[in-house]
Amino acid sequence: MMKKASFLILSVLLVFQGIKAAPKEEFRAVWVATVERLDWPSSSNVSSQKNQLITILNTLESYHFNAIIFQVRPACDAFYDSKIEPWSNWLTGTEGKAPDPYYDPLAFVIEEAHKRGIEVHAWFNPYRARKGNAGTSVNHVFNTHPEWILAIGSKQEGLGYKSLDEREFSESKEVSYILDPGKEVVRNYVLSVIVDVATRYDIDGVHMDDYFYPYSGMSNEDAATFNEENRGFSNIHDWRRDNVNLLIKGIHDTLQAINPRIKFGMSPFGIWKNGVPPGIVGLDAYSVIYCDAVTWLNEHWIDYITPQLYWPFEGGQDYGKLMPWWAGQAAKNDRHLYVGHAAYKITNWTTDEMPRQIRLNWQTDAALGSVFFRYAFMPGGNPLGFRDSLKNYFYAHPAIPPAMTWKDSILPPAPVNFIVTLNESDAILIWQAGEMTEAHDDTTYRYLLYKWPLGESLNRDDNSHLLAVIPASEPLTYTDTDFENYQYAISALDRLSNESDVIEQILNGIDCFNPLAEGWQLHPAFPNPFNPTVHIMYTLPKATDVHLFIFDIIGRQIYQETHSHDQAGTYTLEWNASGFASGIYFVKIKTPEFEAAQKISYLK
Q: For the segment 4-46, what is each residue's pLDDT rounded down to a tens digit?
A: 333 333 433 443 344 457 899 999 999 999 999 999 999 999 9
pLDDT at 512: 37
pLDDT at 63: 98
Q: Are 318 and 425 in the same domain?
A: no
Dmax of the chain from CA atoms? 96
d(CA 181, CA 275): 27
pLDDT at 441: 64
Q: Does residue 13 belong to any structural domain of this protein?
A: no
pLDDT at 156: 43
Strand partners, 432: 416
Q: Pseudo-torsion of CA 47, 51, 56, 60, nearest 10°?
A: 140
Q: Does residue 410 belong to any structural domain of this protein?
A: no
Instruction: Evaluate if residue 3 carries a pLDDT over 50.
Output: no
With cut-offs at 50, 70 and 90, classify the pLDDT of residue 428. Answer: confident
With cut-offs at 50, 70 and 90, classify the pLDDT of residue 161. Answer: very low
Question: Of all residues in the chain, what percent carry a pLDDT higher than 90?
Answer: 72
Instruction: Evaluate if residue 276 carries a pLDDT over 70.
Output: yes
With cut-offs at 50, 70 and 90, classify the pLDDT of residue 440. Answer: low
* Range of the structural domain that residue 543 is part of: 515-602
Are 64 and 94 a contacting pair, CB within 8 Å?
A: no
Q: Are 159 and 93 in the same domain?
A: yes
**What is the tens place of the pLDDT at every residue in 56-73?**
999 999 999 999 999 999
Q: Are 420 and 363 in the same domain?
A: no
d(CA 322, CA 315): 11
CATH value at residue 475: 2.60.40.10
Least confident of 189-203, 332-346, 349-363, 404-418: 404-418
d(CA 374, CA 485): 41
Q: Pseudo-torsion of CA 85, 90, 92, 93, nearest 10°?
A: 110
pLDDT at 431: 86
Q: Are 369 and 346 in the same domain?
A: yes
Q: Are 509 and 574 in the same domain?
A: no
Q: Does residue 494 belong to any structural domain of this protein?
A: yes
Q: Are 236 and 100 in the same domain?
A: yes
pLDDT at 154: 55
d(CA 58, CA 22): 22
Residue type present at position 203: I
pLDDT at 164: 41
pLDDT at 423: 74
Mean pLDDT, range 150-172, rounded to an integer: 49
Instruction: Evaluate if residue 162 carries a pLDDT over 70.
Output: no
Average pLDDT of the chain to the nearest whole number: 89
pTM exceeds 0.85, yes or no? no
Q: Does residue 401 belong to any structural domain of this protein?
A: no
CA end-to-end distance (rounded Å), the chain: 48
Q: Of 363, 394, 425, which one is at a domain's C-terminal end?
A: 394
Burial (CB count within 10 angstroms: exposed 0-12, middle 13-18, buried 19+), residue 500:
buried
Q: Are 351 and 369 in the same domain?
A: yes
**What is the tens place of the pLDDT at every residue in 461-483?**
999 999 999 999 888 889 999 98
Q: Does residue 201 belong to any structural domain of this protein?
A: yes
Q: Does residue 138 belong to any structural domain of this protein?
A: yes
Q: Are 509 and 522 in the same domain?
A: no
With cut-offs at 50, 70 and 90, classify the pLDDT of residue 167. Answer: very low
CATH value at residue 319: 3.20.20.80
Q: Does residue 596 belong to any structural domain of this protein?
A: yes
> Which ranges of 81-222 does DSSP label H, i.e. alpha helix?
89-92, 105-115, 141-144, 184-200
Are 557 and 476 a contacting pair, CB within 8 Å?
A: no
Q: Are 110 and 140 in the same domain?
A: yes
Q: Of 347, 362, 394, which one is at a domain's C-terminal end?
A: 394
Q: Are 107 and 206 in the same domain?
A: yes
Q: Are 478 and 536 in the same domain?
A: no
**What is the tens place of the pLDDT at every residue in 521-567?**
888 888 888 899 998 988 888 899 999 999 988 788 899 999 999 88
Q: What does residue 128 show for φ and ψ, rounded to 5 degrees?
A: -60, 125
Q: Of 513, 548, 566, which one is at a domain's C-terminal end?
A: 513
| DSSP code, position 402 | P
Instruction: Evaluate if residue 508 carries a pLDDT over 60.
Output: no
pLDDT at 208: 97
CATH value at residue 543: 2.60.40.1930
Mean pLDDT, range 224-251, rounded to an integer: 98
Q: How many helices (H) and strands (E) does the chain have?
A: 13, 25
If one counts the domains in the chain, the total is: 3
d(CA 456, CA 533): 43
Question: Of all residues in the chain, what percent carry a pLDDT higher than 70?
Answer: 90
Are 213 and 289 a contacting pair, CB within 8 Å?
A: yes
Q: Are 218 and 290 in the same domain?
A: yes
| DSSP code, position 570 | E
Q: Which residues have CB under 8 Å from 392's CB, separation 6+?
A: 7
Mean pLDDT, range 46-57, rounded to an integer: 98
Mean pLDDT, range 264-293, rounded to an integer: 96
With cut-offs at 50, 70 and 90, classify the pLDDT of residue 173. Answer: low
Q: What does the DSSP assignment read for 408-458?
A: --PPPPPPEEEEEEE-SS-EEEEEEPPPP-SS--S---EEEEEEEETTS--
